[in-house]
Structure 1
Amino acid sequence: MILTPTMTGIASPDPLQHAFKVKSAPHAGRSGSKPLQVSNDLWIQWWQQPTGADKRALYIHIPFCRKRCSFCNFFENGAKPERISDYMTSLCQQLTIAAKTPLAQSQPFDTVYVGGGTPTDIKAEEIAVLGKAIQQFPLRADTEITLEGRLNGFDDDKWHSALDNGFNRFSFGVQSFDTEVRKAAGRFDDKQTLIERLQHLSKHPTASIVIDLIFGLPGQTMEIWQQDIQAAMESGAHGVDLYQLIGLAGNRIDKASEKGKVLGTDTSEFQADSQTRANMYAYGASKLESNDWQRLSSCHWRRDNRERSIYNSLAKSGIEILPFGAGGGGSIHGHGIMNARDLKEWHQAQTAEKLSELAPAQVPGMALSPNPSAAFDAVFKRGLDSGVLEFGNIETTVLAHLQPLFEAWQQNGLATLDDKALSLTLAGRFWNVNMQTGLFEYLAKNPLIPEQIAS
């Protein structure tokens, strides 16, 4: 049996800080998929075929931002009103065609996520048209419909337009409440403006208001992070995500680092190392939970049952996600789909001569063959992300195969193990992506036999 430190972590008096060197990626995964050429006939066939999935989502991508944040390497298109208007017209036409297909109509959708980019930069009337386009799909009575974005520019006209047209969950990228840290990160608005706006929106009787916070931003000391957590609790938000800053190549922080510079605040160049970020996570988790916030995953908490985080939860389960928009990603009949980001090419695909009412336009991008281990992997990704991997639905032969890895995690302070479940410690929850990556490395170097995987 091959075991390596990247699988198991290392023995340490403080596993929270030292079990692994650094979190190097936002997500873990492996793939047995291969690139697939999809002809126009096959594309139409997919949309004319009913789904075999019992859980489904729509993902709709709005690839525009008014400003590039220092930590982001996904900036695609400036938010010019005329460009957005043309895009939204084409996007809603595509959604209308898709909604009528047998694929879309064959099973209701559990959740819809409008992401970006900055979807809240579109106009109030465009939010209305988008909401009406979404309502053409079969939705459950309690379908979660999320609009992502930023508080700056999300005025009352947009807020009421969204509410009136089906949106019931709003995810805002606050990242930090500290005015100076926000300025250095390229964010709009000061702390007081954010808190007042969140308190106003959170008074709605049913809508769920969720905020994202990032720990490890340049200039963000532990004291500032503690103030961020306190502000989040005082803001009235119903849910909060705590994300660790990841050094993604190509962002402004990374480019400055290559030149030996730090994009700090006007008064501080403090840059939290991995150990400090671990302590920031521990503080945030402890503070929230001691104030009766319920942990839904390793990075997400709620104070109110209206916050369900359905999309984020189901997306880790390998469900079918129909993707729309330039840069949108998902899956159709088990085939991975990633739409290309180029806006010009995306628009050209909408005006091609071979467009059909039988399917939405096939846009440039990548398609992958179904991953034979997707369902198997999803069980472990979902369990580790939640913090508890229950053994009830896992074959005993698989558990026996993974036992050496599980025992190593327990020895290194990352988990506790009994005959019913593997439960992550606080350190394990902080390092859960590394642990997922380690599990997939373990399976690659110590393969299961096909019969075990199939079970």
Structure 2
Amino acid sequence: MNLELNNPDITGKHTPDPLRFAFDKKKGPHAGGMAKPIPPQQTQSALENAFSDSGEKGPRCLYIHIPFCRVRCTYCNFFQYASSKKLIAEYFEALKTELLWKAAMPWTQAYPFQAVYFGGGTPTDLSADQIKELGEMIRAYFPLTPDCEITLEGRINRFDDRKFESALEGGINRFSFGVQSFDTKVRRAAKRLNDGDEVLERLQHFVSYDSAPIVIDLLYGLPHQTLDNWATDLELYLESGAHGVDLYQLIEMQNLPMGRLVEQGKLPEPANTQMKASMYQMGVDFMAKHHQRRLSVNHWSSDNRERSIYNSLAKTSAQVMPLGAGAGGNVNGVSTMQFRDMEKYIEAVNTNQFAAGMAFQSASNAALVNTIKAAFDRGVLSASSLPQGLFESVMPLFEAWTKNGLAIVSNGYLSLTLAGQFWSVTLAQNLIQVISNNQNNATKAA
């Protein structure tokens, strides 16, 4: 097996400080495998076949995309439409139509869903009545496990008590707020609308209901962020009383407002990889010091109420049914990205067509890819989770990672060090790439 052991992009660099210098930068926000594009003229039939087959029993999730935001954050690559009551109302009707149509399909009804996620965009820009109605429809028309996690993502901005209470009435049982930072100067540079002290006050208010887990995202590496105000952000997570927190690093993406503002001299440069590594280390140490329970390499909970089911499944092994413009998912080996264009989405839904802008057939090793992604998200890969003999076959690569301070191999487990956890997506992608390349070469040789 060719493990590319002479390629530092695969093995990482041998350096006294692998946390900060093992790789030049993170390869992307998520790891993934190769999939074969389905010709556009075959997309509808491929999806019809996928949804007509009950498929195999296994983890399933539902993702509903709400593509509206009052303001585009400077770091965001997901912005689609500015919030407008008229446009949201039109979209909401189409979304309900798609929901009812897909809910009745054989694949949907075959097995229960373990998690539902309202993402965006900004789902909290929906009205109180719309949030409640969507939640009620999910519970009425989809088979759900008794402990199904139903998450509403959004902002504190304009999310008042009526919306929160309507969400609870509709069956929402988890809330995820994109705080990013409590520092008002950092927030303003990122186009977040509320001052930090207001965000903290509202979070504490929602926590006081004691009705559902409240989880927040903190983003490190933003312009104006320093180790000092990042330390304050971590402290304020505890002060907020939130039940969990994700610590995400800023991924530099081209053609985003932040990049243009930096080029124009209107924003300072965001943190480099080495500073982000220091922030990650600070976050990990802080969570350990305060006995926060670790659920993944970047997610912690303060108590047993926060489970992060959707995040752990959707990033890894689950099939995900997509609803809404811009939603992505995978059903029975067919992955899709739905139309981002509102008119195309609504037209497809109103004519009982799948609103798929593109579709792909999953690679033959998709199950293996998912296993690797799930393991590296947890920070540990077991030999028993891989096909027989594969762990031993790639052992020279694991030994190179161990030599370079990224992992430790012991008793049939590959455990990521702190540096390996910081570079977990890169390492997962590298392992997937090496294995896939060798499998493809073996197929060609045969």
Worse-matched range after superposition: 403-412 or 433-442? 433-442
| 2:218 match | 213
CA contact (8 A) 2:43 2:359 kept: no
CA contact (8 A) 1:210 1:240 kept: yes
How many pairs align?
A: 438
Q: Summarize the Cα distance change of 1:449–1:270 in structure 2 as closer, same or farther, 3 Å threshold.
A: closer
Percent of aligned positions with the same letter in both sequences?
A: 44
| 2:377 match | 385
Q: Summarize the Cα distance change of 1:140–1:13 in structure 2 as closer, same or farther, 3 Å threshold.
A: same
Q: Deviations over 1:252-299 (max 9, x none)?
A: 112234x35252xxxxx3632211110000001110121010111111
Q: Summarize the Cα distance change of 1:70–1:279 in structure 2 as closer, same or farther, 3 Å threshold.
A: same
Q: Summarize the Cα distance change of 1:164–1:42 in structure 2 as closer, same or farther, 3 Å threshold.
A: same
Measure how far apart 1:399 and its partner are: 1.1
CA contact (8 A) 1:218 1:262 kept: no
| 1:126 match | 130
Larger helix proportion, structure 1 or 2?
Answer: 2
Q: Deviations over 1:92-135 (max 9, x none)?
A: 12212222222211111000011000000000000011111211
| 2:245 match | 240
| 1:51 match | 55
Measure how far apart 1:204 and its partner are: 3.1
Measure how far apart 1:372 and its partner are: 0.8
| 2:90 match | 86
Q: Summarize the Cα distance change of 1:262–1:402 in structure 2 as closer, same or farther, 3 Å threshold.
A: farther
| 2:163 match | 158
Q: Does 2:263 align with 1:253?
A: no
Q: Deviations over 1:42-91 (max 9, x none)?
A: 54443333232421010110000000101112211010011001111110
Q: Does 2:190 align with 1:185?
A: yes
| 1:266 match | none
Equivalences for 1:305-384 in 2 at 5 Å?
305-352=304-351, 355=352, 361-384=353-376
Indicate which of 53, 74, 80 corresponds to 1:76. Answer: 80
Give the aligned residue type for 1:239: G
| 2:13 match | 10
Measure how far apart 1:434 and its partner are: 1.3
Give secondary structure in 2 for the equivalent of 1:369: strand
Measure how far apart 1:342 and its partner are: 0.3
Measure how far apart 1:145 and its partner are: 0.4
Measure how far apart 1:401 and its partner are: 1.4
| 1:21 match | 24
Q: Summarize the Cα distance change of 1:55–1:36 in structure 2 as closer, same or farther, 3 Å threshold.
A: farther
Q: Deviations over 1:211-248 (max 9, x none)?
A: 01110100111111111111111111111001111111
Give secondary structure in 1 for the equivalent of 2:107: helix
Give secondary structure in 2 for the equivalent of 1:392: helix
Measure how far apart 1:444 and its partner are: 4.5
Give the aligned residue type for 1:189: N
Give the aligned residue type for 1:408: A
Give secondary structure in 2 for the equivalent of 1:33: strand
User: What is the aligned-residue RMSD (CA, Å)?
Assistant: 1.7
Which runs of structure 1 show a deviation greater than 6 angstroms over 4 or more consecutive aligned residues? 448-451
Indicate which of 63, 79, 90 corresponds to 2:67. Answer: 63
Give secondary structure in 1 for the equivalent of 2:348: helix
Q: Distance between the aligned counterparts of 2:198 and 2:131, measured in 1? A: 23
Q: Summarize the Cα distance change of 1:126–1:96 in structure 2 as closer, same or farther, 3 Å threshold.
A: same
Worse-matched range after superposition: 342-351 or 175-184? 342-351
Which runs of 5 or more residues in structure 1 are unaligned?
Answer: 264-268, 356-360
Q: Distance between the aligned counterparts of 2:390 and 2:43, measured in 1? A: 38
Worse-matched range after superposition: 307-316 or 29-38? 29-38
Worse-matched range after superposition: 269-278 or 378-387? 269-278
Q: Distance between the aligned counterparts of 1:447 and 1:39, measured in 2? A: 27
Q: Does 2:37 align with 1:34?
A: yes
Give the aligned residue type for 1:423: S
Q: Summarize the Cα distance change of 1:14–1:46 in structure 2 as closer, same or farther, 3 Å threshold.
A: closer
Give the aligned residue type for 1:417: V
Measure how far apart 1:386 and its partner are: 0.6
| 2:152 match | 147
| 1:358 match | none
TM-score (norm 2): 0.94
Give the aligned residue type for 2:18: P
Worse-matched range after superposition: 342-351 or 79-88? 342-351
Q: Summarize the Cα distance change of 1:370–1:53 in structure 2 as closer, same or farther, 3 Å threshold.
A: farther
Worse-matched range after superposition: 277-286 or 343-352? 343-352
Q: Distance between the aligned counterparts of 1:313 and 1:193, measured in 2? A: 30
Measure how far apart 1:393 and its partner are: 2.7
